[in-house]
Structure 1
Amino acid sequence: MNEPGGSGGAEGVRLQKVLAGAGLGSRRACEELIAQGRVQVDGEVVREQGMRVDPTTVVLHVDGMRVQLDPDLVTIALHKPKGVVSSMHDEKGRPDLSGLVADRRVFHVGRLDADSEGLLLLTNDGELAHRLAHPSYEVTKTYVVTVEGRVKPGVGQALKRGIELDDGPVRVDAYTVLETSPRRSLVQVDLHEGRNRIVRRMFDAVGHPVTRLVRTRIGPVRLGQLKPGQTRVVAGNELGALMAAVDL
């Protein structure tokens, strides 16, 4: 009977070495992860220290989170500045994403309109990109928006119940007023919709046009301290949590 992930005989690479090479800690620390039953190989918990696996085909999870073993795959978090279009090449000559990710061969997952800013994910992992973009996985995104006027008390409840737009209904998963004044309000909303300019159209519909929009979170990945135009690699537990969010 073949072991999960095993390649038979003395072939393959010891499991603890594969885990250490993926950045899970020293080999000794990875042996502890295995001993504690925190490692799954192809869906099965493994406690055997000497197990050998093929890192090109095996699927590993630690604490339920996928471990990325392919060194050629990369996922990047970008703080897209206002005025940059969500395209790797803009035919109209406007500033685009290519100037922000140097020579990395990645493509963006979803988009932000040119007037919006904040977190955008770019990757060369086709399966991850497909699942993040697919509505069936309902990955939640968080936006902090500045809107005109003092938001009325019933706006939040209306948006949570759902409102009708010209291309169908939309509702938010969470709504929080951060600041408010007679001239403007700062509101945070969570939603898993991905339609074009959905946040702007939603607030237009309730009488509070958006003057600034910043996306601060996609699933478990947060914008954090990234400044406009800056990037960072999504790796380790953060990448594992992102993959787990789409059942990888």
Structure 2
Amino acid sequence: RQRPRYVMLNKPSGFITTVKDERQRWTVMDLVDVPERVFPVGRLDRDTQGLLLLTNDGTLANRVMHPRYGLTKEYHVITDVRPSPFQMSRLNDGMFVNGREVIPDECRLLRETAEGIVIKIVLHEGLYHVVRTMMETVGVNVVRLRRVRLGPLRMQGIPPGSWRDLTPGELVQLYEAVGMPVDDADRINQRRPIQLDPVGGFRRGAAEDDSGAAGASRQPVIAPPVRQGSGERARSGNPERTPSGRSAGRSHADDGSRSSSRHRDRRSGRGR
């Protein structure tokens, strides 16, 4: 029987949120090497970056995704032109997306950075492309979209393409947020692997995504291997691999960076 696993990934753009892709595109599973059979909870589209939870705890995953439990998601939208007061008012008033009314819990201008103007938007809804659709509706150009929070979980200190396990406290908070017994989380914390230092890392050429990556060491960029049968290398601008996908960081109860043979085969180009 598998031990429970709870992984927080800082997803870079260029990766599909799925366990397997028939078109041999890069998926988030190419970023996370653990022996447990984890799966992504919910979806971030290919170009969206940021916090993605992976687990083998089906009950928790269902509650995190179910709108009944009202888990909030915080996104940062980077745009190249400062939105007008009218555009911001329309976003805050809400709109219908795919037949459902979506009203943000919060939507405001957050700051101006070297990347552009940052809009903070917090939603309960988990509709696919909901943030991009809302921005397109009011005429806001999305240069970059990043999820920085999922309920009580916040993306901090994890470089792009890297992952770590949830801390014991984060798991307790997540269980509590979706109405699951905190005592169960405490028992699970005693027997699950906990890799606390970020593992792995992918980079898009020289343009480094700075989400949660403050203080991360810069490493040379190496192109990913050709997938057997794909007939071409990843296009320019697609994810690129740093030389080492391992961390010498501390691990509790298990070496969280241990690879399964399935992932080793995929990374060495022997197909899937």
Letter in 2 for 1:138: G
What do the CA deviations read for 1:72-100 (whole angstroms, capped 9, x no partner)?
Answer: 11111001111000011111111112211
Q: CA deviation at 1:167?
A: 2.7
1:1-248 correspondence runs (5 A): 72-102=3-33, 103-179=35-111, 185-248=117-180
Q: Using the TM superposition, give the Cα deviation of residue 148 of structure 1 relative to its aligned residue in structure 2, in angstroms.
A: 4.0
What CA distance in whole angstroms lies between the structure 2 residues aligned with 1:243 and 1:195?
A: 22
The CA distance in 2 between the partners of 1:160 and 1:243, in whole Å, is 30
Alignment gaps of 5+ in structure 2: 181-272
Distance 2:98 2:80 in 1: 22
Cα distance between partner residues in 1 of 2:42 and 2:57: 14
The one-letter code sitting in structure 2 at the alignment partner of 1:149 is V
Alignment check: 8 A CA contact 1:132 1:246 kept: yes
Equivalent pair of 1:142/1:215 in contact (CA under 8 Å)? yes
Question: Contact 1:150/1:180 (CA < 8 Å) preserved in 2?
Answer: no
Which piece of structure 1 moves more, 147-156 or 76-85?
Answer: 147-156
Count of matched residue positions in the alignment of Structure 1 and Structure 2: 178
Q: Aligned equivalents of 1:214 and 1:186: distance in 2?
A: 10
Question: How big is the shift at 1:71?
Answer: 8.4
Contact 1:151 1:180 in 2 (8 A): no
Residues 47-75 of structure 1: per-residue CA shift (max 9 Å, x gap): xxxxxxxxxxxxxxxxxxxxxxx981111
**Distance in 2 (alpha carbons) for counterparts of 1:150 and 1:163:** 21
Q: CA deviation at 1:101?
A: 1.4
For residues 180 and 167 of structure 1, the distance between their equivalents in structure 2, rounded to whole angstroms, comes to 33
Percent of matched pairs sharing the same residue: 39
**Aligned-residue offset at 1:209:** 2.3
Q: How far 1:213 moved relative to its partner?
A: 0.4
What code does the residue aligned with 1:90 have?
D
Distance change >3 Å, CA 187–CA 126, structure 1 → 2: same
Amino acid at match of 2:94: G
Show structure 1 runs of 5+ residues with no match: 1-69
* Larger displacement relative to structure 2 (203-212 or 162-171): 162-171
Q: Which residue of 1 aligns with 2:207?
A: none
Report if aligned partners of 2:74, 2:150 keep a CA contact under 8 Å in 1.
Answer: yes
Matched-pair contact (CA < 8 Å) for 2:3–2:36: no
CA distance in 1, matches of 2:103, 2:147: 17
1:129 to 1:224, Cα distance in 2 relative to 1, 3 A: same
For residues 237 and 193 of structure 1, what CA distance do their matches in structure 2 show? 25
Residue 242 of structure 1 deviates from its aligned partner by 0.5
Aligned-residue offset at 1:149: 1.9
* Most deviating of 210-219 and 153-162: 153-162
Give the TM-score, by structure 1 length.
0.67
| TM-score normalised by L of structure 2 | 0.62
Alignment correspondent of 1:49: none
Pairwise CA distance, 1:225? 1.2
Pick the structure with greater CA Rg.
1
1:113-144 deviations in Å (ceiling 9; x for gaps): 00111000001111100100111111001111
